[in-house]
Structure 1
Amino acid sequence: MQVRIFETLAGAAKFAGSRWQVALAQGREEEKRLWRYVGESRNFVQVTGQLYRFEDYLDALAPGTPSRTSPALNAGKGEFSRPAAEMLLEIMDEEPEPEQKRHVRVLIALLDFIADTGQLDEVEDFFIHHHQYAPIAVARFTSREEAEKWLKGTTEPPSPANILIGDDYYQFWYLREDNTRGMYREYVIEATIAALTAKGIPPGAPSFHSRTEAEEWLKHHPANPEAFVVIDGEHYLAVHHKRLNLHTLHHVASALLEWEEHKKKVAFANSREAGPVEEDE
């Protein structure tokens, strides 16, 4: 899926990771923080399904650019974006290896892309508060039919990107090369619920008679990003989706059953792929 841009970003991410390791080893805290910002910027573009948009942005750049950052990035008032760009420009001047320079150009272009598309504030918020984010979903639909209609009718849907159908996560995928597209169920919240309930559900969760009552209360007491509630005597995990300004509600007992079933299916599929194992004679 989207092999070329994935490889491009993977190479740039590997370069950034190696520089972060050097900064960590040498105790350069500010530089380490800026490399983390660069990494989270790449992560943001990927999880919001903007890989093809960024690929088009890269393709439109003149060969050898950028040697400076975009006016939109220079005008930004973010705490991390401009210092990160300045760090990358310095490395561009100092780095002798052409392949490494290419990785730096991609990272500078990434920050430029974010600035030029008006997403600087959003990315800075994502970097600072990402631990308060539920796994990002780019849209919510009431039914699978509605989601499939949108997926088929959109010229270039975000890809790969999570969406919500009711309270359930699905992942969209789209290949520009042959215009194929589809979706499959994701179990990110079920895994979270399993981890959160491993030692039991904490007492004191607010209790409500109905989902409507719980949703109204959550409007004024948003989860950060998740919190247990009780609805009609049953435990639910309320998950706040900041990007969509809504909560999903996940029945704990059902989610745990679904997670166990999913793990069994994955284990079975993996065993089929591995094939028979011969015993030593």
Structure 2
Amino acid sequence: MTTLSDLAEAHPVIGRRWSQDQAPEQERILTLARDALDFIFATGQRHDFEDFFKTPGSRSLLPREVSAELSERMDATKRFFEKIRDEPESAEEVAQSQAILDAIQYIESTGQQGAFAAFLKYVESNDPPFVVASFDTREEAEAWLANHPHPPDPANVLISNEYHDVFHNREMNIRRLPYNRALEWYLEELVEKEQPVPVASFGTREEADAWWRAQSGPARRAWVRVGDELYLAAYYPNIQHRALFPLSLANGHGEVQRKPLPE
């Protein structure tokens, strides 16, 4: 039976075939394989995924409308990894390739192509780490987790716009919401790739929050200036949540804050 651990260990078969000068079609195949693995993690579907492969087909849904482009990408990815599975370069590649094929089968069989397509766009936009829910207070989050009949695991949630893991041990019914540093690491990587340029400036955080909430059809993310500090304004379309994150959370990037801010 394929488990979540098998999915986590499948990435090397992708990495060994990734190269800077690869053909565009191979890049699209390898990217989709990576994102299929990550989709199951990010959306907290450990238990559903493992249950599906204990009794294959038990949760299959009727086929749904799927874009021709996504369907073609998924089919091409399956053919690519079926060939590797059947003609592997090493013994471990059999299990790694099968894990990718199982991830795609699970997405298709449970009718999640639409959610997967949205996740692909989210990843392509280099948005903040994916979250499944947001809460204003710790008390609200704890109540949600305690009363949830089927908690997502693993997954991220926001509590007062801070990232936390959702942990659910189903056998012992242990439920936890530990803090994690996913946002800090994301901001560190983001400022290495792009120079933050604010699109608007505000005197107070409250003014910036009001402006971001009032945006109609907001961008997925944007930089704003509040006083002398830069903030990342982020929009999470899957939960329709908007947040502001101070760039000062990015450890080791104090020098970014000391640069003159663009006007």
TM range (shorter): 0.7 to 0.9
Deviation for aligned residue 1:168: 1.6
2:260 corresponds in structure 1 to none
Unaligned runs of 5+ in 2: 253-263
Larger Rg: 1
1:45 aligns with 2:40: yes
1:163 to 157, 170, 177: 157
- Alignment match, 2:133: 139
1:59 and 1:216, CA in 2 relative to 1: closer, same or farther beyond 3 A?
same
Residues 15 and 100, structure 1, Cα contact 8 Å, conserved in 2: yes
Q: Specify the code of the residue in structure 1 equivalent to 2:223.
A: A
Distance 2:34 2:187 in 1: 27
- Residue type of the alignment partner of 1:189: L
Deviations 1:195-234 (A, max 9, x none): 66799964652437725631343334x243242243x786
**1:25–1:225: structure 2 CA closer, same or farther, 3 Å change rule?**
closer
Would you say the 8 A contact 1:76–1:82 is kept in 2?
no
**8 Å contact 2:66–2:113 — kept in the other structure?**
no
**How many matched pairs?**
242
Alpha-carbon distance in 1 for matches of 2:65, 2:10: 22
Distance in structure 2 (CA, Å) of the matches to 1:235 and 1:96: 48
In 2, Cα distance between the equivalents of 1:228 and 1:45? 32
2 CA distance for matches of 1:97 and 1:192? 34
Q: Structure 1 length as normaliser, TM-score? A: 0.70
AA aligned to 2:137 is S
C-alpha displacement of 1:242 = 2.3
- Quote how far apart the aligned CAs of 1:169 are: 1.4
In the alignment, structure 1 segments of 5+ residues that lack a partner are: 63-69, 261-281
**Aligned equivalents of 2:189, 2:84: Cα separation in 1:** 41
AA aligned opposite 2:170: R
Match of 1:122 in 2: 115
Tell me the equivalent position of 1:8: 6
Return the match for 1:243 from 238, 245, 254. Answer: 238
1:266 maps to: none
Query: 2:168 — aligned with what?
Result: 174
Cα displacement string for residues 123-161 of structure 1 (whole angstroms, at most 9, x for unaligned residues): 234335514222111001121111111111223311111
Which AA in structure 2 matches 1:176? R
Distance in 2 between residues matched to 1:124 and 1:171, nearest whole Å? 24
Residues 195 and 179 of structure 1, relative CA distance in 2, 3 Å threshold: same
For residues 25 and 52 of structure 2, the distance between their equivalents in structure 1, rounded to whole angstroms, comes to: 29
Amino acid of the structure 1 residue aligned with 2:151: P
Tell me, yes or no, if the aligned pair for 1:49 and 1:159 is still in contact at 8 Å: yes
Task: Kindly provide the CA deviation profile for residues 53-99 of structure 1, in whole angstroms up to 9, marking residues without a partner as x.
Answer: 1111122239xxxxxxx984997631411211232334444459876
Q: Note closer, same or farther for the CA distance 1:92–1:207 as it changes in structure 2 (3 Å cut).
A: same
Work out the CA distance in 2 between the residues paired with 1:172 and 1:117.
22
Letter in 1 for 2:238: R
Q: Which has the higher helix share?
A: 1
Tell me the secondary structure at the aligned position of residue 214 of structure 2: helix
Structure 2 equivalent of residue 224 of structure 1: 220
- CA deviations 1:152-193 (Å, max 9, x no partner) are 122331111110112221111111232212011223334555
CA drift of 1:105 comes to 2.9
Equivalent positions of 1:93-112 (< 5 A) are 93-95=86-88, 100-112=93-105
Q: Structure 2 length normalisation: TM-score? A: 0.74
Q: Does residue 88 of structure 1 match 2:65?
A: no
